[in-house]
Amino acid sequence: MYRMHMSTNNLIKGSLQTIILKLLEENERMYGYEITQRVKELTEGEIKITEGALYPALHKLEAEGLLTTEIQQVDNRVRKYYSLTKDGQKEVSAKMSELQSFVGHLQRILDPEWKPGLA
C-alpha cells in the first residue's frame, strides 16, 4: 500500500499545479490544508498531496500572479486563503487541455489500440 502511494505521488508531481488551479476554479477560495483534504476526499485517499510539495507550488503560483491571497482571522489564528486571479482563470483551461492531451498520448503509448472516446 505504501509503495502504491509513493508511486502515485511521484506521478502526480508534474500535475500538481493543474490540480490546484482546477480545485480553485471549482471552489472559489481554499486554504492549504483544505486542498490536501479535498484531493484525498475526491480520490478516496488514493492520492495524497504532500505538504512538502503543496506549499512551494502554491507560493510559486502566487508569485506568477495566477493566485491571489486573502488573510482572515479564524478562531485565534490567521488563515491564508488562495483564489484564482483573472490570469489564473485563463491558465486553468490551458493547463487542463495540456494535461488531457498528455493523458491521451500516454494512453496511446500504453495501449496502441486505444482511441479517444472509447471506454
Partner 1 sequence: MRHLTDIELQEVRKEITRKEISSAEILMEIYDHYISHLQEFPEEEFNEQLFELDQKFTYAYCHALQAKFKKAAHADISKTQWQVLRSYFCLGRWMYFVGFLAMAIYLSTYFQTVEEAKLIILLPFILLFGFQLYYGYQSYKHMKPIRQNFKGIGIPIQSSLAGFFENRASLPGMFIYAFISFPALFFNWEPTKVIAPQVAAVFTVLITLYALSLIEVWKIKSKTALV
Given the rule CB under 8 A, which residues bind partner 1? 31-34, 50-52, 55-56, 59-60, 62-63, 65, 68-71, 73-80
Q: Which is nearer to partner 1, 75 or 113 (CB)?
A: 75
| DSSP symbols for 59-74 | HHHHHTTSEEEEEEEE
| Residue 20, all three cell numbers | 490546484
Q: Tell me the C-alpha distance between 19 and 6, whole Å.
A: 18
Q: What is the DSSP letter of 85?
A: -
Residue 36 vs 107, nearer CB to partner 1: 36
Q: Closest approach of Cβ 92 to partner 1, in Å?
A: 20
CB of 83 to partner 1, least distance (A): 10
Q: How far apart are the first and last CA of the chain?
A: 27
Please identify, using beta-carbon distances, which residue of 25 and 32 lies nearer to partner 1. Answer: 32
Provide, rounded to whole angstroms, the least separation between the CB of residue 109 and partner 1: 34
Element (H, E) at 30: strand 29-31
